Amino acid sequence: MAKVAVLASGSGTNFEAIAQDLAGGPHGVALLVCDKPGAGCLARAERLGIPSVVIPYGKGGTPEVRRAAEDQMTAALEAAGADLVVLAGFMRILTPFFVGRWKGKLINIHPALLPRHPGAHGIADSFASGDPELGVTVHWVDEGVDTGAILAQRSFPRTPDLSLEDAEARIHALEHELYPAVVRRLLESLS
């Protein structure tokens, strides 16, 4: 059995999609790590019976503060026996030190067709761009922001009547299909 740990900051719909997809199978979600006390992903973890830990980054965001939080995260991930670490709406930029520790085992989902529209506003930026296609990307995490090698993408064509709300709903639905499939494939290759 291979174990995945999920890092999230927000609602946790991708975390839940992955957990539901793996439920009942040989692989499983061993841990949720969240940097935001009270975030929705924590309630989902409790409902799903998945252990969770809150590791706030505190104020300042200095390299020392980030490094201390990441050391705690690595300790929690190692204690959980994580074979794969999945960023699912984890809205922190990880230091090269953390990325180096988990390189080759660390993936992210981004709500746009990378390399276009990296950063914190992938949906709004791709919607505003007028690009003929919108979509989602799962990629390995490297030291850059949304720059790692692409594992998988899914897209849909923009229609003239597409609203921002429609685009958000389509993108989230694609994420919930694509991310569990990629995670499952990677866990199977590890076991």
- Reported as type and span, the H/E element at residue 52 is strand 52-54
Contact pick of 4, 14, 138, 170 for ligand GAR (by CB under 6 A): 14
Contact pick of 73, 89, 106, 139 for ligand GAR (by CB under 6 A): 89
Counting Cα atoms < 13 Å in the Cβ hemisphere of 80 gives 26
Q: Which of 110, 117, 139, 176 is catalytic?
A: 110
Q: How far is the CB of 4 from ligand GAR (least distance, A)?
A: 14
Where in 23-82 is the site for ligand GAR (CB under 6 A)? Answer: none
Contact pick of 110, 117, 139, 170 for ligand GAR (by CB under 6 A): 110
Contact pick of 3, 66, 111, 174 for ligand GAR (by CB under 6 A): 111
> What is the CA 182 to chain-centroid distance, rounded?
12
Q: How far is the CB of 88 from ligand GAR (least distance, A)?
A: 5
Q: Give yes or no: 110 in active site.
A: yes
How many residues lie near ligand GAR (CB under 6 A)?
Answer: 16
CA distance 58 to 72: 13
Bridge partners for 153 per DSSP: 137
Site string for ligand GAR, 144-173 (x = CB under 6 A): ----------------------------x-
User: What is the binding site for ligand GAR (CB under 6 A)?
Assistant: 8, 10-15, 88-89, 109-111, 120, 122, 172, 175
